[in-house]
Amino acid sequence: MEISIEKLQELIDGSDNIVFFGGAGVSTESGIKDFRSVDGLYHMKFKYPPETMLSHSFYVRHKDEFFDFYKDKLLECTCGENPAKPNAAHLALAKLEEKGKLKAVITQNIDGLHQAAGSKNVLELHGSVLRNYCEDCGKSFEASYLYKAAGVPKCDKCGGDIKPDVVLYEEGLDNSIMSRSVQAIQEADMLIIGGTSLVVYPAAGLIDYYRGSKLVLINFDATARDSMADYSIHGKIGEIFSQLKI
Ligand code: NAD
Ligand code: ZN
């Protein structure tokens, strides 16, 4: 059922164990492109499809090209001249947590913007561009070190290759983050899903663990799972959250 902002407000006011599950669409209003919108990365022309370039086998076989793409398309918005900032959706979710109403943000995003907004319990299913480790000695590096490196970033201690702590296609998700996410969703009285096309598995399958009757979908386009939602609002998530009184 399509609902109004007033109805969304009422549902939030009546809940005290809210879980938010989001994707790339949560950060588009911060200037970070998603994958599947019309101006997303999938609609740009690259030598290989983004899914190939962000796969484990491509990383292993074509590290130079992987880092060209990674630095330009994924690190630019964090480390470039105009770093992305949290938008109204990130800020409202942090405020809901501070008020004790929201228990967890589960995100497929790797941009760290929920934490930048002040959210504490953020379950990052696909890792974060902000964490990077040497594949040989494990030393950790900031994203700016990788961004500034020419070619494949190398460890300044042992010379090993540095890999971002980002889950690539063909790689498994962290078991402990998955089980904490399942538990949060099972315990939630309200589940808000926003800015995700719900096509990337196993992340998208998480919503099947919700047992309540307040599943709200906030998305710009229709998603693969619209029919599962109790309520939906189609629009820009930052604009929608900015109209709520929290
Ligand atoms: P997706 O690109 O498949 O889908 C994004 C969805 O969000 C689309 O359905 C689109 O209609 C919607 N959307 C876009 N802007 C919106 C807005 N302002 N308000 C409401 N909805 C909006 O993204 P996904 O489902 O997250 O899956 C893609 C994968 O891409 C994820 O695994 C994620 O790790 C990765 N990714 C992350 C980032 C990031 O960290 N910011 C950016 C791009 C891709
Ligand atoms: Zn090293």
Query: Mean pLDDT lowest for which of 32-46, 66-80, 145-159, 197-211?
Result: 32-46
Does the Cβ of 240 fall within 6 Å of ligand 1?
no
How many CB atoms lie under 10 A from the CB of residue 226?
A: 14
Is 126 tagged catalytic? yes
Predicted confidence at residue 38, as pLDDT, reads 64
Is 142 found in the same domain as 26? no
Assigned domain for 142 exists: yes
Assigned domain for 20 exists: yes
Assigned domain for 246 exists: no
Cα–ligand 2 centroid distance for 7 (angstroms): 53
Instruction: List, for residues 137-179, the tens digit of each pLDDT value.
Output: 999 999 999 999 999 999 999 999 999 999 999 999 999 999 9
Instruction: Name the closest-CA residue to atom 26, ligand 1.
Output: 23
Is 237 found in the same domain as 191? yes
CA distance 232 to 234: 7
Q: What is the mean pLDDT of residues 5-27?
A: 97
CA distance 173 to 201: 10
Q: Is the pLDDT of residue 39 over 80?
A: no
Is 107 found in the same domain as 228? yes
Q: Higher model confidence: residue 172 or residue 227?
A: 172
CB 72 within 8 A of CB 186: no
CA distance 79 to 211: 40
The domain that contains 63 carries what CATH number?
A: 3.30.1600.10
In the block, tokens 């494949």 appear at 152
Q: How many domains does the chain have?
A: 2
Is 77 found in the same domain as 48? yes
Q: Which of 8, 21, 33, 35 to mutate to test the pocket of ligand 1 (most atoms within 8 A of CB)?
A: 35
Instruction: List, for residues 206-219, the tens digit of each pLDDT value.
Output: 999 999 999 999 99
Is 220 found in the same domain as 159? no
Atom of ligand 1 nearest to the CA of 29: 18
Is 181 found in the same domain as 199? yes
Q: What is the mean pLDDT of residues 176-191?
A: 98
Q: State how far Cα 3 lies from the chain centre.
A: 25
In the block, tokens 């992305």 appear at 84
DSSP, collapsed to helix, strand or coil, labels residue 193 as strand
> 233 - beta bridge partners?
218
Q: Is the pLDDT of residue 227 over 90?
A: no
The domain that contains 235 carries what CATH number?
A: 3.40.50.1220
Q: Per-residue confidence at 104, pLDDT binned at 50, 70, 90? A: very high
Q: Is the pLDDT of residue 226 over 90?
A: no
Is 138 found in the same domain as 121? no
Select which of 43, 62, 114, 126 is catalytic: 126
Cα–ligand 2 centroid distance for 154 (angstroms): 8
What is the domain range of residue 178?
Answer: 5-32+86-126+173-241
Q: Is the pLDDT of residue 200 over 90?
A: no
CA distance 140 to 100: 33
Is 227 found in the same domain as 152? no
Is 91 found in the same domain as 78? no
Q: What is the mean pLDDT of residues 216-223?
A: 93
Is 74 found in the same domain as 188? no
Atom of ligand 1 nearest to the CA of 24: 26
Averaged pLDDT score across all residues of the chain: 94
Does the Cβ of 108 fall within 6 Å of ligand 1?
yes
Assigned domain for 224 exists: yes
Q: Higher model confidence: residue 221 or residue 133?
A: 133
Assigned domain for 156 exists: yes
Is 181 found in the same domain as 101? yes
Percent of the chain predicted with pLDDT > 70: 99
Phi, psi of 186 (to 5 degrees): -65, -35
Atom of ligand 1 nearest to the CA of 109: 40
Is 222 found in the same domain as 186? yes
